[in-house]
Structure 1
Amino acid sequence: MQRLLVSLIAALVPALVLAAPYTDARLGVRFNVPPGWRVQPETLRGERVLRVIPPKADQRERAAIDVSVRVGRVGRKDTLERFARRLSQPAGEREAARWVRLDDKVGRLGALYREGHFVDNHLWIVRNTLMVALQVDRTRAEARCSATAAEYKTWRRPLESVCWSLEFVAKPRSTSR
C-alpha cells in the first residue's frame, strides 16, 4: 500500500518541480532545465547563446523545439515598455502578440506570439513562441521558447519552466550585443 501511495504521489508531481536549476556565471543568469534536457553553450554572431535541448532527436524535429537564452546590452532608450509595444504590433512574419505581461517593478516582460516561416521544402510552418525578458539598467536577458503551433500545447509546461524561471544571479555586467 505504501509503495502504491509513493508511486501515485510521484506521478502527480509536475515536471516543473523536478526541473534542475542551471546557472551560467559568464552571462550571470539562472533558469530551470527540465529533466533529461541539456544546455549547450554556443557562439552566434560573436554572442554567447545558451541552447536548451530536449532529450530525444525525434522530439526536437517533430515539434521543432527551439529554446535559447542570451544576455546583451540595449540602447539607452530601449526599455521593456517599448519592447512590449513593439511585440503588440505585427512585424514581418510575426503576428501581434496574443498577450503581453509587463511587470516594471521586477523588470520582467513576458509575451506569447506566433510567427511563420518557410522550411526547406517550401512548407509554411507556424511557431508559437514564449519570450521572457529581464532588464536591469542597460542589460537585457531574453529567453525564447518555441515549438510548432501544432505541438506547442504538448511542450508548453517544459518550455514555460525554462522561460519563466529566467533570473539574473548577480548584478549584470557589461556584455556585447
Structure 2
Amino acid sequence: MALVTARPKGAPAGTKGLALYLVPRLLPDGRLNSYRIRRLKDKLGTISVATGEIELNQAQAELIAPPPDGFRLMMEALQFSRIDNAFGSAGLMRRAFLEAGVYASRRTAFGDLLLRYHRLLRDAQVVPVWEGPANIQALEVLRALSPKLDAVGGPVAGPDAPEAAETARH
C-alpha cells in the first residue's frame, strides 16, 4: 500500500489542490493495481520511507482526504512516522542490550565467559543510562505534537498523556 497525494482534475495548483489517497499494490482479485513508479527521489531525512513520483494510470485508490486537506494530512502522517521512529529506536536499544546480554552469558573467549570480563560489564552499564532518556524524549515529542495531530478528529493520546509524560520524566 502507498499513501499518496495527487491532484484531482480541476483542483487548484499548489498544496491546496492535493488530495490524499490510499493506493493498494494488489487489487481484491489479486491482480496488480495499475500504477507505475516513475522515480524514487533522493532525499535527506527518513530514507527508509520511500518518496517518489508515481503515475496513477486508472489505479484504484481510496480517497482519504479531498483538497484542500490532503497535503496537511500527509504531513500529519509523516509526523506519526517520526514519533514511531523515536519509540522504535528506544525499543531497539533495549532489545539490543538484552540480546547482547544473552550472547555474552553463553559465549566464551580466552577460556572464560564474556560476562566475566570487567570491561564488557563496564561498557554494558552505559546502555541503560541512555535507554531512559530515549524513552522520555519520545514521550516529550508525543506530548508536544499531541494537540497538533488531530487527523481522526480528536487528540492522539488520551487526556492523561501529558501527565504520563511528566511522570516518566521524574
Q: TM-score, normalised by structure 1?
A: 0.23
Question: Which one has a larger percent strand, Structure 1 or Structure 2?
Answer: 1
Structure of higher CA gyration radius: 2
